[in-house]
């Protein structure tokens, strides 16, 4: 199964990082309030980073790596060639 790591820009200008096998479905869950608790009190604005080609284990590891980054480093990652979002 193809797992993806993603970053969502939130309405309060924070970044949320997660993993999924279906990014559109997961974004819809976050937007409807059925996703992560992080979105209580804030709304997802758009997906700003996507990285595919992971299995469940490698996606979880990559998620933790990204969550440990400083905001400036996440912004660099979003602007990098690793980002698979079509701009």
Q: For the chain, how big is the Rg over CA atoms in Å? A: 12
Domains defined for the chain, CATH in brackets: 3-79 (3.40.1440.10)
Predicted confidence (pLDDT) at residue 68 exceeds the cutoff of 70: yes
pLDDT tens across 26-63, in order?
Answer: 999 999 988 888 888 899 999 999 999 999 999 999 99
pLDDT band at 1 (very low <50, low <70, confident <90, very high): confident
In angstroms, the Cα distances linking 73 to 7, 9, 12, 56, 76 are 13, 15, 19, 24, 5
């Amino acid at each position: 199964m193809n797992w993806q790591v993603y970053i969502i820009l939130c309405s309060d200008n924070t970044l949320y990082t997660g993993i999924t096998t279906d990014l559109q479905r997961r974004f819809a869950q976050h937007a409807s309030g059925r996703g992560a608790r992080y979105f209580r009190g804030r709304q997802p604005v758009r997906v700003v980073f996507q990285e595919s080609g992971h299995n469940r284990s490698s996606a979880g590891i990559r998620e933790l790596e990204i969550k440990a980054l400083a905001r400036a480093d996440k912004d660099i990652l979003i602007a990098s060639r690793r980002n698979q979002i079509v701009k």
